[in-house]
Amino acid sequence: MNADPWLMAGAAALLVFWTLGAHNRLVSLRNAIISAWAQVDEPLGQRHAAIDALLAQSRLLLPDQQPILDAVAEAQAQVLAAADSLRPRPAMAPRAAALSGAEARLAPDLARLLALLGQPVAPAGDDALPVQVSMLQDADRRLVFARQLFNDAVRQYNEAAHQFPTRLLSRLFGFDAAGLL
């Protein structure tokens, strides 16, 4: 009785089970990114609603600042388009980079608007503006934590996908690197 066929069969079985285990681990880590994206998507939507309400109120209060308001609206539209693009496949690095870039373009315009709103231009009886600013700040705080959760999931996935010998499988099965927000 020759042991070579048994050794070959055992090695092949070991390779198949390792491949299945590595594949399942990468799928699980990619699913963690998808779950983390849901945590980012919710405050993004809340921030969008808060910015829309803030812009509507600001157009009444700051009629001479339309270029700034238009810049915020345009930057917010870019963020929404990038988020819509990322939503179906949140593990795609180019789409995450597009969202990150859109967020970077929104930040200074939004800061400029909030600075303008901090000046005493609102009518004394207008209580809606502080509530809208507070909603925006709350959504931003939640977004910071959600982004951190997403980025942690991305780092774990990318580390697993780039470790040898799993790296060989990631190329074979199309587990590309995910992008940070």
pLDDT in tens, 116-163: 887 765 544 467 788 888 999 999 999 999 999 999 999 999 999 999
Domain contains 7 = no
Give the confidence band of 1 by pLDDT, cuts at 50, 70, 90: low
Domain contains 47 = yes
Q: What is the pLDDT of residues 15-38, one digit of tens each?
A: 889 889 899 999 999 999 999 999
Residue 95: give its domain's CATH number. 1.20.1440
Q: What is the mean pLDDT of residues 46-51?
A: 95
Domain contains 67 = yes
Domain contains 178 = no
Answer whether residue 168 shows pLDDT above 90.
Answer: no
Report the domain count for the chain. Answer: 1
Domain contains 108 = yes
Domain contains 17 = no
pLDDT at 128: 76
pLDDT at 117: 82
Answer whether residue 172 shows pLDDT above 90.
Answer: no
- Long-range CB pairs of 30-35, under 8 A, 24+ apart, other chains included: 30/91, 30/157, 30/175, 30/178, 32/153, 32/156, 32/157, 33/90, 33/91, 33/150, 33/153, 33/154, 33/157, 33/178, 34/90, 34/91, 35/153
Range of the domain at 120: 27-173
Q: What is the pLDDT of residues 87-117, one digit of tens each?
A: 999 999 999 999 999 999 999 999 999 998 8
pLDDT at 174: 83
Domain contains 167 = yes
Q: What is the pLDDT of residues 66-90, one digit of tens each?
A: 999 999 999 999 999 999 999 999 9
Q: What is the pTM of this model?
A: 0.86
Domain contains 1 = no
